[in-house]
């Protein structure tokens, strides 16, 4: 019997790839006195609700979508967290 799963996909720039947006936010925050922040890097969050027989196949499906459509393999990496899904 198929079930509903939620996959949280986090897409980040690879280590070493410069993040101009993060650097811009860092600059503004320093100028406005937020001194405890050493670095900021911005990424993307994609929540997916999937139909799948079990968590493992939901993960595989999310990984396929993340690697094929959501993350740019040259510049980005992604991580996937799967949990039983209710509507977002």
Q: CB of 37: closest distance to its own copies in angstroms?
A: 6
**CB-wise, 49 or 75, nearer to its own copies?**
49
The conformation of residue 34, written as its DSSP 8-state character, comes to -
Cα angle 73, 79, 81; round to 5 = 145
Of 24, 30, 34, 75, which lies in the binding site for its own copies, with binding defined by CB under 8 A?
34
Given a contact cutoff of 8 angstroms between Cβ atoms, the answer to whether 46 and 70 are in contact is: yes
Which spans of this chain sit near its own copies (rule: CB under 8 A)?
Answer: 4, 8, 10-12, 15, 29, 34, 36-52, 61, 65, 69, 87-88
């Amino acid at each position: 019997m198929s079930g509903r799963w939620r996959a949280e996909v986090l897409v980040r720039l690879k280590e070493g790839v410069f993040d101009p947006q993060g650097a811009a936010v860092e600059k503004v925050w320093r100028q406005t006195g937020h001194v405890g922040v050493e670095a900021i890097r911005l990424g993307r969050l994609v929540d997916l609700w999937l139909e799948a027989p079990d968590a493992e196949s939901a993960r595989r499906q999310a990984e396929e979508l993340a690697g094929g459509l959501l993350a740019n393999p040259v510049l980005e990496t992604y991580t996937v967290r799967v949990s039983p899904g209710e509507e977002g």
